[in-house]
Amino acid sequence: MTYTTFQEIKSYEYDKTEVIDLPASKDDNRKGYITRFTFNNDWQVSIANHTEVNGGDPDLFSVALMNSDGKVFTSPNDPTSRWTDVKENLTWDQVRELITEVQLYDDCYFI
């Protein structure tokens, strides 16, 4: 099974990136990657593609929106929010759409 290495993401504008190649330790049974991008507006997106998410399907991804402190940002009580929870079972095309969307958000300083 081959998991995506997020090479395509280099075409997006971001301040920094962190890639965790899994397993991260000898006690870690996951195989795949977690990649976190920090954008110019201070929002972060964490993209997971490993054996412990989405049933281990290498073609599906999970995406979490994070604030500038690296905390997962959700609005579970706001039915109008696009981020009521971490998004799972996404195709790469859906991940690209979310990345483009987050890049256009206002600055994250108010969170």
Domain count, the chain: 1
Quick check: is 1 in a domain?
no
Quick check: is 23 in a domain?
yes
Rg over CA atoms, the chain: 14
Strand arrangement of the beta sheet that strand 87-90 belongs to: 16-22, 32-38, 44-50, 61-66, 87-90
State the pTM of this model. 0.77
Quick check: is 2 in a domain?
no
Reduce the secondary structure of 41-110 to three states and give it as a string: CCCEEEEEEECCCHHHCCCCEEEEEECCCCCECCCCCCCCCCCCCCEEEECHHHHHHHHHHHHCCCCHHH
Q: What is the largest CA-CA distance in the chain?
A: 42
Quick check: is 73 in a domain?
yes
| Residue of 49, 59, 54, 44 lying closest to 98 (CA atoms) | 44
pLDDT bin (cut points 50, 70, 90) of residue 108 is: low
Residue 15 pLDDT > 60, yes or no? no
Residue 94 pLDDT > 90, yes or no? yes
Task: Give me the chain's average pLDDT, please.
Answer: 78
Quick check: is 33 in a domain?
yes
Which residue range is the domain that position 44 belongs to? 7-110
